[in-house]
Structure 1
């Protein structure tokens, strides 16, 4: 099995040097750049298996880079920043990052989070499909069809653009139709058991899914969480 490739995007050369040394000690192959613009060029020639991305960058910031990457790739992204405000964490996660770490941080903790993110990513890809697609035999009449290989979402025959986290939530809920998931369960299953932010990020993500898929029977279980209600009528389109 080939070693994973990690890309570090940070304008601080000391951080890049230290982080690269720790990753290389773990057996990872690393590349580091000092700007989002350079990272875009790197992604075109040598796309990595995971990004370690600073938010405060010269020129294009980390948020904009994350948004751009998510339009074309589900590659895991771990954001790092000197700011520790909850809104920054939520924004980063909503844009599609997989984790968030505040400076100053322990390089060992960063390595541990990268290891976890890559294990989750590998498990997800090895499963092939996170969930069975609904109505694959009649895609044009289905409110939800998930193409797991290409990671596309269709509703009544029309492709709907979703973020990585939105896709994971849709996959999880469609794999377990009619089961109610608590907000805490969704946080653990989608963001990982080491995420300690507010469960508001779950509500915001569900709100965005409903806005994009206005016919989806995604129900709120008041005081608990959410479930995807699948009846025989739903299955028949």
Structure 2
């Protein structure tokens, strides 16, 4: 596996390069967005670890470009005072984040988890009754086998693995209040690893894709102090 570590701090780059190489990964490093883009245009990259503060532009722009051009997983590194940027990064499609200063072992664990999700290794074999499972809700059709979301106008809406895992957990349990802990357990049971800190961000991303008005959601509703409820009729087709 080839990992690209983007950080303007040379000691951090050296730490990432030596630690991840010792774990068997091939590692390329970049001190800025320009170098990172050159690396992305070269040998295939399997995962990017990206700092948000870079000398020639912010890491958010790099995350946006990566997500627009590929499905390469991205883990954000951020300082504690970058909460807003971190949330925006997740909304742009980053797969996870870690706050500086970080423990290399924790970063390694997150890298392995994200790579498992990307490769599909963590997804359990489907039962026979799950084959060709297609459900409809509101004006949407969700193919649980092909992991495809389609609108009534026939257009497909792209979902990340985490978004699909969360949406499938909802459609299988409509009209029920689900806490964050329950959503975490349900998505992990389905082979998708979602971290508690990103549940709310995933909800926002899903609302932007399936709600007519994300600011006044009618499908995924918030139950204050309790969790979320998928308030739509779901039927198999």
Q: TM-score with structure 1 length normalisation?
A: 0.73
Q: Which residue of 2 aligns with 1:178?
A: 174
Q: Which residue of 2 aligns with 1:209?
A: 209
Deviation of 1:23 after TM superposition, in Å, equals: 0.3
Q: Any conservation in 1 of the 2:52–2:78 contact (CA below 8 Å)?
A: yes
Q: Which residue of 2 aligns with 1:115?
A: 112
Deviation of 1:88 after TM superposition, in Å, equals: 3.1
Q: Any conservation in 1 of the 2:77–2:98 contact (CA below 8 Å)?
A: yes
What whole-Å deviation, never above 9, does each CA across 1:111-169 have from its counterpart, x for those lacking one?
A: 2221222233334676698x866269xxxxx72245976x7642121133555643443
The whole-number CA distance in structure 1 between the counterparts of 2:58 and 2:12 is 17
What whole-Å deviation, never above 9, does each CA across 1:96-122 have from its counterpart, x for those lacking one?
A: 112211222222222222122223333
Check if 1:197 corresponds to 2:197. yes
Check if 1:225 corresponds to 2:228. yes
Q: RMSD across aligned C-alpha pairs, in angstroms?
A: 3.6
The whole-number CA distance in structure 1 between the counterparts of 2:150 and 2:34 is 32
Structure 2 unaligned regions, length at least 5? none
Q: Which residue of 2 aligns with 1:48?
A: 45
**Which secondary structure state, in structure 2, belongs to the residue aligned with residue 45 of structure 1?**
coil
Structure 1 unaligned regions, length at least 5? 137-141
**Which secondary structure state, in structure 2, belongs to the residue aligned with residue 27 of structure 1?**
coil
Change (3 A) 1:211 1:39: farther
The whole-number CA distance in structure 1 between the counterparts of 2:68 and 2:144 is 16
Task: Identify the match of residue 144 of structure 1 among 137, 141, 145.
Answer: 141
Deviation of 1:80 after TM superposition, in Å, equals: 0.6
Change (3 A) 1:221 1:17: closer
Q: Determine which structure has the larger strand proportion and give its number.
A: 2
Equivalent pairs, count: 221
Q: Which residue of 2 aligns with 1:139?
A: none
Q: TM-score with structure 2 length normalisation?
A: 0.73
Change (3 A) 1:228 1:122: farther
